[in-house]
């Protein structure tokens, strides 16, 4: 069993709970805003949700009318997904498959859209993942993929350990995924990050035409302290005010360096 598989098997029972806070409410709002318009609605269309975990995005995509293949390496995450899919009555639209997104068991050009959300950061060589996602995508169809921003991660180290921030910028240090599970540190997967320019070049060199890259978490975490943005109890007015700023900045190319995460919309050419 791989380190990533073991980690997410143990994490699966609490995974969805970790997204129930202000930060991820903002993150998810931006994600869906720049995902929904590209989701096919035809019942003949098929989407790949690569590394889709507990079905956080497979379920809303399937509700739009197309079929979704939910592919993930973790049996635990897929077990949670199956319960949610059954509860939604979407068994006929979501196909659950255990597998590695670097070796997808589908032929070239099998999918009308591919989503890879919150998974690319787990791979030291993201090109391996992108090439495989492009391979199974139909010509002129969209890939929606997210990455974690190296700049914001490095700046997070400044208050306590600026040397680690410098090492991270130069690829000499990789921090690990933290977990609520009681796991030994050696079982935590390492996190691999890119700058906005590196992300765009990664996509272009693997046969993709980038339509846009948007920022997610522009307003956090460098500008709002963790005790606020990790809160599960927040006012609707405060959320709406944060979202107004977030949505005003997320599409501006010169603001991408401020975003904790990056989401690209690109097409196979």
Residues 187 and 120 sit within 8 Å (Cβ to Cβ): no
pLDDT at position 93: 97
Residue 98 lies in a domain: yes
Q: Mean of the per-residue pLDDT values for the chain?
A: 93
Residue 182 lies in a domain: no
pLDDT at position 182: 43
Residue 131 phi, psi (nearest 5): -60, -40
pLDDT at position 179: 43
List the structure tokens of 65: 């009318």
pLDDT reading at 1 higher than 80? no
Residue 183 lies in a domain: no
pLDDT at position 181: 40
pLDDT in tens, 96-137: 999 999 999 999 999 999 999 999 999 999 999 999 999 999
Domain of residue 112 covers 3-148+190-268
Which residue in 135, 107, 115, 127 sits closest to 199, CA to CA?
127
pLDDT in tens, 211-227: 999 999 999 878 888 88
pLDDT in tens, 230-267: 899 999 999 999 999 999 999 999 999 999 999 999 99
Residue 164 lies in a domain: no
pLDDT in tens, 6-16: 999 999 999 99
Residue 55 lies in a domain: yes
CA 223, CA 226: separation in Å to the nearest integer? Answer: 10
Q: Tokens 């410098």 correspond to what residue? A: 166
Residue 238 lies in a domain: yes
Residue 59 lies in a domain: yes
Strands ordered across the beta sheet of 261-268? 94-98, 67-72, 46-50, 113-116, 142-148, 261-268, 208-216
pLDDT in tens, 149-165: 999 999 989 988 999 99
Radius of gyration of the chain (CA): 18
What CATH number does residue 221 fall under? 3.40.50.150
pLDDT in tens, 50-84: 999 999 999 999 999 999 999 999 999 999 999 99
Structural domains in the chain (count): 1
pLDDT in tens, 170-206: 988 888 876 434 444 446 788 999 999 999 999 999 9
Residue 175 lies in a domain: no
List the structure tokens of 215: 């920022």
Q: Could you give the angle at the alpha carbon of 268 between the alpha carbons of 264 and 269, nearest 5°?
A: 125
The structure's pTM equals 0.93
Residues 202 and 194 sit within 8 Å (Cβ to Cβ): yes
Task: Quickly list H helices, the chain.
Answer: 3-15, 22-33, 58-62, 75-88, 126-136, 150-156, 162-169, 196-205, 226-229, 236-249
């Amino acid at each position: 069993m791989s380190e990533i598989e073991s980690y997410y098997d143990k994490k699966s029972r609490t995974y969805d709970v970790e997204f129930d806070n202000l930060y991820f409410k903002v993150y998810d709002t931006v994600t869906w805003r720049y995902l929904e318009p590209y989701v096919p609605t035809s019942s003949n269309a098929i989407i790949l949700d690569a590394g889709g975990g507990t079905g956080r995005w497979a379920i809303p995509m399937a509700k739009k009318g197309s079929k979704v293949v939910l592919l993930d390496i973790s049996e635990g995450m897929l077990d949670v997904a199956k319960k949610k899919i059954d509860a939604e009555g979407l068994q006929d639209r979501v196909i659950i498959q255990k597998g590695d997104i670097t070796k997808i068991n589908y032929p070239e050009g099998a999918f009308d859209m591919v989503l890879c959300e919150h998974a690319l950061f787990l791979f030291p060589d993201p090109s391996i993942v992108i090439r495989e996602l492009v391979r199974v995508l139909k010509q002129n169809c969209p890939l929606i993929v997210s990455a974690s921003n190296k700049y914001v991660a490095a700046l997070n180290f400044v208050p306590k350990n600026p040397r680690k921030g410098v090492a991270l910028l130069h690829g000499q240090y990789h921090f690990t995924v933290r977990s609520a599970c009681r796991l030994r540190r050696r079982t935590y997967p390492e996190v691999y990050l890119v700058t906005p320019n590196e992300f765009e070049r990664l996509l272009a060199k693997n046969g993709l035409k980038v339509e846009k890259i948007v920022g997610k978490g522009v307003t956090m975490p460098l500008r709002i302290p963790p005790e606020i943005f990790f809160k599960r109890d927040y006012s609707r007015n405060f959320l709406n005010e944060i979202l107004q700023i977030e949505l005003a900045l997320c599409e501006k190319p010169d603001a991408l360096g401020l975003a904790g995460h990056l989401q690209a919309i690109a097409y196979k050419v």
